[in-house]
Amino acid sequence: MSCTISAGFGLQCKDGIGGIKKIYLNAQSLFAGELTIDAPTEMITASSSAASLFEFVLPKSTGSFTEEVASSVENGTIFYTQTVTASFHKLSYQRRKQLELIAQNRLFVVVLDNNDNYWVVGYEDGAEVTAASTMTGVAKGDMNGYTITLTSDSKNKAYRIEDGVFASDFNIDAATPV
């Protein structure tokens, strides 16, 4: 891989928005080696995994995906820390149990952002639950529910799934009310 800079950035249209709509999860081991990644674009162009991804729909303005570079000048290394934070309203036994199972796994995570882009977190080594909260709130208008944080350290930036590939190549187990 060449480290030669190949282009600059101009100003873009102001048409992007922040936040995420949904996350999709399952065990990372079910997807390891099952994705086709186009070398020039570093986009996922196909999946051969037969495993399902479980859909988790987020309430508006309650989730985020961030990616930060971690670089060591002294050691000549670089990696990326990808963090997904998601909140789910209402406390229930079923939700508590699913979040407990999620916390026990190394995860393959797909994030659907509010610009309708799908991003993969945890492809190489899996994402881990690094924080989780259960809260009743204090006042009547406070949050009653759960918040989880999923974190992955990766050699590569998060891969984006090529438009149309998620709907055609991934098996989705749609969210159900619990």
Length of the chain: 178
Q: Contact 80/122 with Cβ under 8 angstroms?
A: no
Count other Cβ atoms within 10 Å, centred on residue 132: 14
CA distance 43 to 164: 12
pLDDT tens profile 26-36: 999 999 999 99
**pLDDT tens column, 95-121:** 999 999 999 999 999 999 999 999 999
pLDDT in tens, 2-11: 788 888 888 8
pTM of the prediction?
Answer: 0.92
At 1, the pLDDT band (50, 70, 90 cuts) reads low
Predicted confidence at residue 70, as pLDDT, reads 93
| Cβ atoms of 107 and 27 closer than 8 Å | yes
Mean pLDDT estimate for the chain? 94
The confidence band for 176, taking pLDDT boundaries of 50, 70 and 90, is: confident
16 or 66, which is more confident: 66
Which residue is it, tokens 């190949």?
Answer: 6
Residue 25 vs residue 15, higher pLDDT: 25
- Mean local confidence (pLDDT), 69-86: 95
Please check the confidence at residue 81 and state whether its pLDDT lies above 90.
yes
Residues 6+ apart with CB under 8 A from 88: 56, 58, 59, 62, 95, 99, 145, 146, 147
What's the average model confidence in pLDDT over 143-148? 96
Q: Averaged over 20-27, what is the pLDDT?
A: 97
Give the Cα separation of 164 and 102 in Å (integer).
Answer: 27
